[in-house]
Chains A and B, each alone.
Chain A
């Protein structure tokens, strides 16, 4: 166990190091000049040149990378070009906002999909199964931006019940919780649609197993069969998938955050990447990769807890 954790930690360090380098080089190779993007189309060539020199961007890429890594090692992630603030400030602020949204979504998605997935899967082709399957495939097949626009049209434009953007400030006439409703609804519907289908399939398979038939035949109540025997087995396979949703919820909410002008991590990363704000992109990538790798470790450990036959 300790060996396993040490090994994972080592892997993580290597991966993070490799990723910083790849991101730096990719950023360098993508078209467009950082300063030109920062100053916009009306800036003169002289202005661009001056700022390039001021920011030290006229130096070779390897020199800048080495400098960046040296500073990062000391815990200094530099200054954001776009936001004109220390990267750590911007990053934690935006990450906090995203974690709030992600937390709300995760807390709804998991019980909601487990409930519907299990209900649908326990009686294959029953009416619950059919209705849940239709619901989940519709949800999973509508892209997030389209879902966002539908919900906006209904709840903001038609009914006027909810705010259309989510700046997360309470002085815009809408309490903060109302600003979370629509972004969370889009994420929950889109993501749950997929998870429900996964859990249902797993449940259907488990329900076809001989030991379930045995349990039913020996006279155990159906309710007990489902809760005591089927549920745990049916959740083993979807467990990793559920954990993978954490990655998506932290780093993949770009579309939702753009549609609702939500000041989150995904929107920050998109804007930083478009502006080639390397300090933000690097730090954000480190966070995203760490989250991914940590959920993998948790996934492995959880797997073992659910199924004692698996050892790591």
Chain B
């Protein structure tokens, strides 16, 4: 196995970093994924390691109450809600952890190495991790049992989609579906795909190169359960984590109690952790924080932000992300002409929209849907607000008197409708007259790929290539704009083939250019996520995916 420090990909990355062709954050991600420790990687990048060890001494004891939905928790490997994973992760652990800084660090795994071709990954587990019940040590058999289970098609875990290309193959089950077509399923591509090396070491033998394996191990359903419990989870379930689930009532609350014998990753400090379900109404979060019935909210809402700011006992946590929503058009009249699509972008004032719709929390949008937080973001490729230019383009396209259209959007979350209203006002100045059709969310999701003009949420994804591949490749199932550009398709496949961020960025510059020239979307803003908590809550850092690890948090008396 290759020593991470000797890995050819790391050598390339180090050279590029020195030559100034790779930025430091991208370097950090690559180096840590290859198994270099976060401390060493920060050192090599010439950055101070983030202050994860706080200056203040954490205090033991006390209760933390989080206002968040309480979903069904019984099947961790098929969790589909982040909220559910945020409950399960207090009792169960992941093999790795990706921090708010996008750097993946060891957790149950002590270290890992990758083969030069990135197909074979060897993981060495910590030897000091104890199950809370029974006192047994967490070992390679436990890890392998869990990996096999999440990759089993019968389990139905979303991990399959993530690792299919790396370690699974499709096969015909021999059954037919209703239409008579052969049913397909997935299975491990080779008998030794998951291999036990010794009691604390296992190996994944993949069929294709994949740099993101350690990140995938932190995918939120990838929790390590006690094999003796058969994949089920509930009150009293075993775990390696810092807390025991002691009470659960779906829709009301969940209660966790700290384990007595200590936790391998430090902490836990909080003695009792409660999740209180206060429903979907953002006003309830304000009310509950104001009367100190909860200490922390899961995620803040733009509508209630001014009210939260009035509560002086609160602090706000914030993180920039690639979360957004895009106004996208189908290539039908008048938007079949790319000049009309460009006019729509020139008529949009992203900075004003960010202020009006998201209270300035975040960054002005990039109309090519690659965000500044993405490692391969190519900067300075933009279409700035220019009404005269928008008018000229419309006239050129044969619409000197402007155009009329209708945009479909959702009423919730509140910032989405605000963004649409703001843009519709801005577009008027360029002669683009748009009617707003607000439909209930459920209805919108039935037609989101079908409406000619719509405003659709896109979640944060760690890589720009992931977003572009999902949303703009010809024929992709989430290509909601029905957009097709042969040059783009060729370049996105090329970009996906580069592990090297700098090479990807060079292609990304071309992709961004194509999307501005020909693309189907307006991207008004990049959202910052935020959440409020009582000032007594210490040690919390907001994660771009809102993952919450309670064992790191403590409360001041």
A contact residues vs B (CB 8 Å cutoff): 30-32, 36-37, 39-44, 46-47, 50-51, 82-85, 148-149, 152, 156-157, 160, 162-165, 167, 169, 172-174, 258-261, 263, 267, 271, 274
Contacts and interface: CB of A to CB of B under 8 A. Distances in A.
Given A85-B250, A167-B252, A42 B443 contact: no
Interface stretch (B273-281, B348-356, B480-488): B273-281
A1 B136 CA distance: 74
- Residue with the greatest number of chain A CB neighbours at <10 A, chosen from B72, B156, B161, B277: B156
A16 B60 CA distance: 57
5 contacts: A165-B278, A167-B252, A173-B293, A259-B287, A261-B288
B442 A258 contact: no
A44 B280 CA distance: 23
B82 interface: yes
Interface residues of B, number: 42
B278 A261 contact: yes
Interface majority SS on A: helix, strand, loop or mixed?
loop
Interface stretch (B73-81, B318-326, B396-404): B73-81
Contacts of B310: 157
Given A156-B291, A164-B291, A173-B292, A84 B284 contact: no
A261 B282 CA distance: 10
A177 to B, nearest CB: 15
B443 A164 contact: no
A167 B252 CA distance: 8
Given A46-B156, A85-B250, A259 B284 contact: yes
Given A160-B290, A164-B291, A263-B252, 4 more contacts: A43-B80, A44-B161, A167-B293, A258-B284
B322 to A, nearest CB: 15
Counting chain A CB atoms within 10 Å of each CB, which of B82, B252, B290 scores highest? B290
A51 B78 CA distance: 10
Contact of A40 (B80, B286, B291): B80
A36 B284 contact: no
B445 interface: yes
Contacts of A163: 287, 291, 293
B470 interface: no
Contacts of A37: 442
Nearest to B153: A46
Contacts of B286: 152, 157, 164
Contact of B158 (A47, A169, A173, A267): A47
Nearest to A50: B156
A30 B446 CA distance: 11
B158 A82 contact: no
Contacts of B74: 84
A14 B115 CA distance: 72
